[in-house]
Amino acid sequence: MSDKSFLDWPFFDARHRELAATLEEWCAANLPVDHSDVDAACRGLVAALGAGGWLEHSGGSLDVRTLCLIRETLARHDGLADFAFAMQGLGMGAVSLFGTEEKRRWLEKTRKGEAISAFALTEPGSGSDVAATKTVAEKVQGGWRLSGEKTWISNGGIADVYVIFARTGEAPGARGLSAFLMPANVAGLSVVERLEGIARHPLARLRLDGVELPDGALIGKPGEGFKLAMSVLDVFRSTVGAAALGFARRALDEALARVQARRIQGQALAELQMVQGHLADMALKVDAAALLIYRAAWTKDQGAARVTREAAMAKLYATEAAQEVIDLAVQLHGGDGVRHGSKVEELYREIRALRIYEGASDVQRVVIARSILPKEAL
């Protein structure tokens, strides 16, 4: 049983504690699922999370503490369940925050698990460097025509709806981008490649070849795409940290069970002082990550306009610390730790991409440094 004492921290209300307990029961009854067909598994998870009412929290009024609690709990049970939940929120994040009534009809579907959503920003030539976005949206009579390529798109190939970022040219670089809501069945959109990561999730490279969208597809105003994407990431970045925290808690649980069961030189591994030292380091990193994550989430929920620094610290620390915790858990499992199919081996593969997407670790370091240096020093 994972440590739940953090739920008594002042960051949480009674409703958060109740939600965590109910979700724990739901997870015990429904997870993990079979991952052998990853597309089918994701579709099934979205439907199950929708039927369970959990996706109601993924859009509309976004309570970041709730999002983080759900992500850390799902990640602790099944990384793919966390992925399915997270993408319903991230995919529709721009619509939750800035969507008009008409666009929010999609939100009703994604919140019931009846439609799958995706967030399409990255391109082959622009990941961290969003200003280099090349996909173009050209104004035509009654709408927009989009052409370009997007890659590393989670849910690419199985999504029913995409929020896509394209250059509309109001200003150079990042200030000339806009966001559009794009149903997956539009003419001119194709999946050119399905990508296989070290943790298997639905991922794809997409091509837009003269995709025509109506004026109403624009989210916010022309040229606001970067601002909008950053506002969405401001909410969801802490939740990436929360998923990492869920993986780390599970790794610690697995390690604790292993060191008590495994006997070496006539005693339990847990009795060796050096092993206890490793366990202490792991527990310390888990608690420190949780403090940073729920500090960021609480601050946002109190109405802070932006939590850029807090969210960057939470994401950076929690993902890096989780990698270290999981690595130690693998080490304490010996050969069984690297055996394909063992839980810690799965966690070892699941954690890696979290240090890269939604702002790589070094990008978070840049964000934090910029937030503490005076403007004239930059």
Which residues are known to be catalytic? 358
The residues, ordered by sequence, that sit 6+ positions from 232 with a Cβ below 8 Å of its Cβ are 90, 93, 94, 97, 119
**At its nearest, how many Å lie between ligand FAD and the CB of residue 257?**
29
Binding mask 326-365 for ligand FAD (x = CB under 6 A): ---------------------------x--xxx-x-xx--
By the rule CB under 6 A, 313 interacts with ligand FAD: no
By the rule CB under 6 A, 6 interacts with ligand FAD: no
**DSSP result, 283-303:** HHHHHHHHHHHHHHHHHHHTT
First to last CA, the chain: 47
Q: Which is nearer to ligand FAD, 50 or 91 (CB)?
A: 91
Q: Which is nearer to ligand FAD, 153 or 251 (CB)?
A: 153
For the chain, helix, strand, coil in percent to 5 are: 60, 15, 25
Which runs of consecutive H residues, i.e. helices, occur in the chain?
A: 14-30, 38-51, 64-77, 79-91, 93-98, 104-112, 225-261, 273-301, 308-332, 343-352, 361-372
Q: Could you give the CA distance from residue 325 to residue 251 in angstroms, rounded to a whole number?
A: 7
By the rule CB under 6 A, 131 interacts with ligand FAD: no
Q: Could you give the CA distance from residue 3 to residue 1 in angstroms, rounded to a whole number?
A: 7
CB 152 within 8 A of CB 196: no
Among 122, 133, 135, 231, binds ligand FAD (CB under 6 A): 122
Q: Which is nearer to ligand FAD, 13 or 129 (CB)?
A: 129
**At its nearest, how many Å lie between ligand FAD and the CB of residue 347?**
15
CB 285 within 8 A of CB 319: no
Q: Which of 264, 321, 328 is nearest to 293 (CA)?
A: 321
Beta-carbon-side half-sphere exposure of residue 231 (alpha carbons within 13 Å): 18
Q: Find the part of the chain contacting ligand FAD (CB under 6 A) among 47-55, 127-135, 239-247, 283-291.
A: 127-135
**At its nearest, how many Å lie between ligand FAD and the CB of residue 360?**
3
At what angle are helices 64-77 and 79-91 packed, to 10 degrees? Answer: 150
By the rule CB under 6 A, 158 interacts with ligand FAD: no
The residues, ordered by sequence, that sit 6+ positions from 151 with a Cβ below 8 Å of its Cβ are 122, 123, 124, 195, 204, 205, 206
Q: Which is nearer to ligand FAD, 204 or 290 (CB)?
A: 204
Q: Could you give the CA distance from residue 156 to residue 203 in angstroms, rounded to a whole number?
A: 5
**At its nearest, how many Å lie between ligand FAD and the CB of residue 12?**
29
Binding mask 202-231 for ligand FAD (x = CB under 6 A): -x----------------------------
Tell me the residue number closest to ligand FAD, measured at CB. 127
**At its nearest, how many Å lie between ligand FAD and the CB of residue 369?**
10
**At its nearest, how many Å lie between ligand FAD and the CB of residue 123?**
8
Q: Which is nearer to ligand FAD, 87 or 275 (CB)?
A: 87
Binding mask 138-157 for ligand FAD (x = CB under 6 A): --------------xxx---
Which runs of consecutive H residues, i.e. helices, occur in 99-224?
A: 104-112
- Residues in contact with ligand FAD, counted by CB under 6 A, come to a total of 20
Q: Which is nearer to ligand FAD, 120 or 244 (CB)?
A: 120
Pairing of strands 203-214, 189-194: antiparallel
- For residues 3-41, one letter each, b for 16 or more C-beta atoms within 10 angstroms of the residue's C-beta and e for the rest, the string is eeebeeeebbeeebeebbeebbebbeebbebebeebeeb
By the rule CB under 6 A, 366 interacts with ligand FAD: yes
Q: Which is nearer to ligand FAD, 366 or 373 (CB)?
A: 366
**At its nearest, how many Å lie between ligand FAD and the CB of residue 283?**
28
Among 6, 12, 119, 247, binds ligand FAD (CB under 6 A): 119
Binding site for ligand FAD (CB under 6 A): 119-122, 127-129, 152-154, 197, 203, 353, 356-358, 360, 362-363, 366
